[in-house]
Structures are given as C-alpha cells and as structure tokens.
A = this chain, B = another copy of it.
Amino acid sequence: MAMNVHEIPAEADEVLALRLRALAHPARLAIVRALAQTGRCQCGQIVRGLTLAQSTVSQHLKVLKEAGLITGTIEGPRSCYCLDRATVQALADEVLPLLARLAAPAAEAEASETDAPGNPDPRAGALA
C-alpha cells in the first residue's frame, strides 16, 4: 500500500468514467460508429446525418474529443474528425477485464490481488 502520491488510484476511475460517459449518449454513439465506417468525417457530414443542430453536434464532438476518443484537425475551412484508435483500444483493454469480472460467477476471496488497489474511493472513501 503505501501508495505514494504519484498515482491517485481514484484518478483512473475518473478517466474511465469520463470515457464511458462520452459514449453514453445515442448521438455520440452514432458519431463514433459513423467515424468507424468512414474513417474520417467532416463535421458537416455528421451534421447532415443527424437531426441535430450544427452547434449541438459540435458540442458532442467536443465531448468526444475531451474524452480522447476522437481527434479533430482543421483542414481549411472545415474540421476533419477521426477516431483515436489508441485511446479506444486502451478503453477496451480496461473495460473488457472489468466486464469479465463483473459477469464472472463470483470471485470470492482471491488469494492474489486484489483489491488492493485498494482504494476505489469514489469520492474519497474506500470499500473496505
């Protein structure tokens, strides 16, 4: 334990939560799926594909960008968005084991590890 102040464990959960929250909206799901298909997309194409105002779509793109899931580069008068595959992969590498553990029968007392991370601490506390 003795975890030093270097890595705040709680911080990891906040990043994870941030990314999950970014995906947790129908419009943003549609956006990332569209980007997965086309590879790259201009903002306008996305706007035309949805029934949302341009400014609203821009906001959603901002949320996804702040979560690190996509990158946006300015190309002339338009913006080209692209999935950040590395971040998506990192998210997958974190979510998969998590869901696997949640779906597993019941870890029960594991000899190894665990929890030690011990400090899930959502807001500050820790699940003893």
Contact = CB atoms under 8 A, between A and B. Distances in A.
A61 interface: no
Instruction: Please give the count of copies of this chain that the complex contains.
Output: 2
A100 B32 CA distance: 12
Contacts of A26: 10, 13-14, 17, 120-123
Contacts of A120: 26, 29-30, 33-34, 49
A105 interface: yes
How big is chain A's contact interface, by range?
35 or more
Contacts of A106: 36, 39
Interface of A: 10, 13-14, 16-18, 20-21, 23-39, 46, 48-52, 69, 83, 85, 88-89, 91-92, 95-96, 98-108, 110, 114-115, 117, 120-128
19 contacts: A17-B26, A17-B29, A26-B122, A26-B123, A29-B120, A29-B122, A30-B122, A31-B122, A33-B127, A34-B120, A36-B101, A37-B110, A46-B127, A50-B123, A52-B125, A85-B105, A92-B96, A92-B100, A95-B99
